[in-house]
Amino acid sequence: MRMSTICFFILAAAVPLGAPAQGVTKTTILVGQSGPLSGSNKEFGEDIRDGANAYFRRVNDAGGIHGRKIQLVTLDDANDAKKSGENGRILIEERGVVALFGYASATLSMPALPFVEKHRVPFVAPFTGAEPMRKFNPLVYNVRASYADELEKIVEFYTTTGMSKFAVLHYDDAVGKENLAAVQAALARRSLKPVSVGTVQRNQTTLGDAVNGVLAAQPDVVIATTLYRTTADFIKQARRNGSGAQFASTSFVGASALANELKDQGTGVVVAQVVPPYSKQSIPIVKEYQTAIEKHLGKKDFSFTSLESYISAKLLVEAIRRAGPKLTRESLIKALDSMQNYDAGGYVVDFNPKEHNGSKFVELTAISKAGRFAY
């Protein structure tokens, strides 16, 4: 009896106070997210959070899943990788979430992986197409296409119009260099190479040297693989300098945030998208998303980013439903592996136990004079 009492207190001390076992109680399911809710990428982080919460609210209003309501716990990382890593530890080890969801980039996602792997926590829909997060990991599930897919599409589009002088703007980190390599590979397949390359730091605010270096080669097209604030600052300064180049970006930029930042200077900027047009109500998932977002936010504030998050949240909830009433991290992993050719309503995601990159969908858009997107 005395030994049993001692063992009980040892076990109790090992469990963080207030953390439900694997994020599941009789009434709630905890899902964890770290995102930039402050700082220069704030709008992007808010869009991801809002898109997911719009779907979770829709599910909760209908009674939840197996009698449980889904709660998204979002911690601010201010677009700082060190902070996102600590947030991952807190979410998994202290809050006890059943899964991580929707981190805003590969740079923010990778610091959470040691905790994901230590505790075998499924990591669903990181908002990145970067190769480091797409190499097979049995715990990571990518919903979107890769940046390499997007960059191939961009290069294909411009080369078919006769343009051949390409410049690249990228961050000076592992993901930025991967993006540069993807552009170089796409160009090499067409016997081309970049005429200039601009390298910037993630939180760099003065871009003068980068702009001048890229424009000195008089490129036809500048492909930016940076976030919306950096990309917008670059385009504004390039246009002030008289550049007549075309500007294109991966979806990583946050299309709506970029359009808002550029205003009338955004006309003609091309942005790759990894989800269907958020205005096309003929697509079932888009119509459903618009209704849910308007109800959640109280306004028609639609974006590609929140649509992607909404689709990803819908996939996660379907996996939770398939995992059954006795939900655990392991049962959720098995359920995610069963999501073969899952149709969310006009957007198909295909997972299996050996392939966790769920889609290759890419479409190009251009910012119009009204700040909207044309296809």
| CATH (domain of 113) | 3.40.50.2300
Same domain membership, residue 335 and residue 289 = yes
pLDDT at 7 over 90: no
CA separation for the pair 310, 288 (Å, rounded): 10
Contact 128, 143 (CB under 8 A): no
Q: What was the pLDDT predicted at 21?
A: 59
Same domain membership, residue 287 and residue 140 = yes
Whether 5 is covered by a domain: the verdict is no
Same domain membership, residue 136 and residue 152 = no
Same domain membership, residue 122 and residue 63 = yes
Residue with tokens 């694997």: 22
Q: Which residues contact 233 (CB under 8 A, 6 or more apart)?
A: 205, 207
Same domain membership, residue 140 and residue 20 = yes
Region 87-99 average pLDDT = 97
pLDDT at 271 over 50: yes
Greater confidence (13 vs 267) lies with 267
Same domain membership, residue 74 and residue 102 = yes
Residue 367 pLDDT class (50, 70, 90 cuts)? very high
- Percent of the chain at pLDDT exceeding 90: 83
Same domain membership, residue 100 and residue 24 = yes
Contact 76, 53 (CB under 8 A): no
Q: What was the pLDDT predicted at 13?
A: 40
Whether 375 is covered by a domain: the verdict is no
- Percent of the chain at pLDDT exceeding 70: 94
Global pTM? 0.86
Whether 50 is covered by a domain: the verdict is yes
CA separation for the pair 195, 366 (Å, rounded): 24
Same domain membership, residue 170 and residue 92 = no
Helices 228-240 and 208-215, packing angle to 10 deg: 60
Same domain membership, residue 159 and residue 233 = yes
Helical ranges in the chain per DSSP H? 2-14, 42-61, 81-89, 106-109, 113-119, 131-134, 147-160, 174-188, 208-215, 228-240, 255-262, 284-297, 304-323, 329-337
Residue with tokens 């970049």: 194
Specify the range with the lowest mean pLDDT, choosing from 143-147, 163-167, 198-202, 284-288.
198-202
| Domain encompassing residue 164 | 147-273
Specify the range with the lowest mean pLDDT, choosing from 91-95, 210-214, 253-257.
253-257
Q: What was the pLDDT predicted at 374?
A: 80
Region 201-212 average pLDDT = 86
Q: What was the pLDDT predicted at 357?
A: 98
CA separation for the pair 62, 39 (Å, rounded): 35
Q: What was the pLDDT predicted at 257?
A: 86
Same domain membership, residue 162 and residue 106 = no
Q: What was the pLDDT predicted at 17?
A: 41
Whether 264 is covered by a domain: the verdict is yes
CA separation for the pair 269, 275 (Å, rounded): 18
Q: What is the pLDDT of residues 28-67, one digit of tens each?
A: 999 999 999 998 789 999 999 999 999 999 999 999 999 9
Region 103-123 average pLDDT = 96
Q: How many domains does the chain have?
A: 2
Residue with tokens 């908002």: 127
The mean pLDDT value of the chain amounts to 92
Q: Which of 230, 253, 273 is the last residue of a domain?
A: 273
CA atoms within 13 A on the CB side of 174: 11
Greater confidence (83 vs 375) lies with 83
Whether 210 is covered by a domain: the verdict is yes
Q: Which of 273, 292, 311 is the last residue of a domain?
A: 273
Residue 252 pLDDT class (50, 70, 90 cuts)? confident
Region 258-277 average pLDDT = 94
Q: What was the pLDDT predicted at 20?
A: 52
Q: What was the pLDDT predicted at 22?
A: 78
Residue 5 pLDDT class (50, 70, 90 cuts)? very low
Q: What is the pLDDT of residues 53-63, one digit of tens each?
A: 999 999 999 99
Q: Which residues contact 83 (CB under 8 A, 6 or more apart)?
A: 34, 76, 77
Q: Which of 243, 273, 303 is the last residue of a domain?
A: 273
Same domain membership, residue 74 and residue 155 = no
Whether 372 is covered by a domain: the verdict is no
pLDDT at 318 over 90: yes
Q: What is the pLDDT of residues 70-79, one digit of tens each?
A: 999 999 999 9
Q: What is the pLDDT of residues 123-161, one digit of tens each?
A: 999 999 998 899 999 999 999 999 999 999 999 999 999
Same domain membership, residue 151 and residue 141 = no
When computed from its CA atoms, the radius of gyration of the chain, rounded to whole angstroms, is 22
Residue 112 pLDDT class (50, 70, 90 cuts)? very high
Residue 219 pLDDT class (50, 70, 90 cuts)? very high
Strand bridging mode 363-367 / 373-374 = antiparallel
Q: What is the pLDDT of residues 320-354, one digit of tens each?
A: 999 999 999 999 999 999 999 999 999 999 999 99
